[in-house]
Amino acid sequence: MDLVLMGPPGVGKGTQAALLQDRLGLVHVSTGEVLRRHVADRTPLGEAAHGHMLRGGLVPDELVTAMALDLVGSARCRAGVLLDGFPRTLAQARALDGALAEQDRRVDAVVWFSAPEDLLVQRLTGRRTCSGCGAGYHVLDRPPAVADVCDACGADLVRRADDDEATARARLREYAATAAPVREHYESAGVVRYVDGTGSVAEVAALLPTALHA
């Protein structure tokens, strides 16, 4: 099975992907995570992508698509992939469909999460991630026992460079400007499942089995 998680920044795609990957036996591929690793490692792709990410814009299709399709087509993803943050444009969606078709695969479902903008901004600006083990926190909803220290490994918690309020709002505007053609593309294939992302993490997770069997 090949699944795509879609929706605005902060809606909970990464959070739900982490819960779903083991349950469904799929490999979680987050293009945002892969790009952030390239930025940290100062690769040519990271250097080309960094400015777009800091401004809250999309990284150009020709850079992201090659990177994402390499992963989707790799041996470890043959049994199925859980895509988070890709495809984000119609060109990326068409390229993904073509690459999957070459392996007799297709996008089986697109889970499309939504939530009100004020809630999304609150989730993004309060997000913290462990610099050691990558565990996720939120200053209001999932605070660590000791401020800015990971409960699991004791390393410092960090805030993503694009999670300040101005950049979060820029990312939400970019999403509003670019998501519709992708949604229409997968709606016409009959694979979109809409899920309300406003509840707690557990409440949203509980909606997914029904959505995926719809």
For residues 174 and 163, give the distance between their C-alpha atoms in angstroms, rounded to a whole number.
Answer: 14
C-beta separation of 24 from 82 below 8 A = yes
Mark whether 171 is an active-site residue: yes
Q: Which residue has the tokens 């993503």?
A: 160
Report residue 69 as tokens.
Answer: 């399709």
Minimum CB separation of residue 116 from ligand AP5 in Å reads 12
Q: Which residue has the tokens 């952030």?
A: 36
**78 to 97: interface string for ligand AP5, x by CB under 6 A:** -------xx-x---x-----
Pairing of strands 127-130, 157-158: antiparallel
For ligand AP5, the binding residue among 81, 100, 204, 207 (CB under 6 A) is 204
Mark whether 78 is an active-site residue: no
Q: Which is nearer to ligand AP5, 88 or 105 (CB)?
A: 88
For ligand AP5, the binding residue among 138, 159, 169, 183 (CB under 6 A) is 138
C-beta separation of 157 from 129 below 8 A = yes
Report residue 104 as tokens.
Answer: 């007799």
Rule CB under 6 A: which residues touch ligand AP5? 9-15, 30-32, 35, 52-53, 56-59, 64, 85-86, 88, 92, 123-124, 127, 136, 138, 141-142, 171, 199-201, 204
Active site residues per annotation: 13, 88, 127, 160, 171
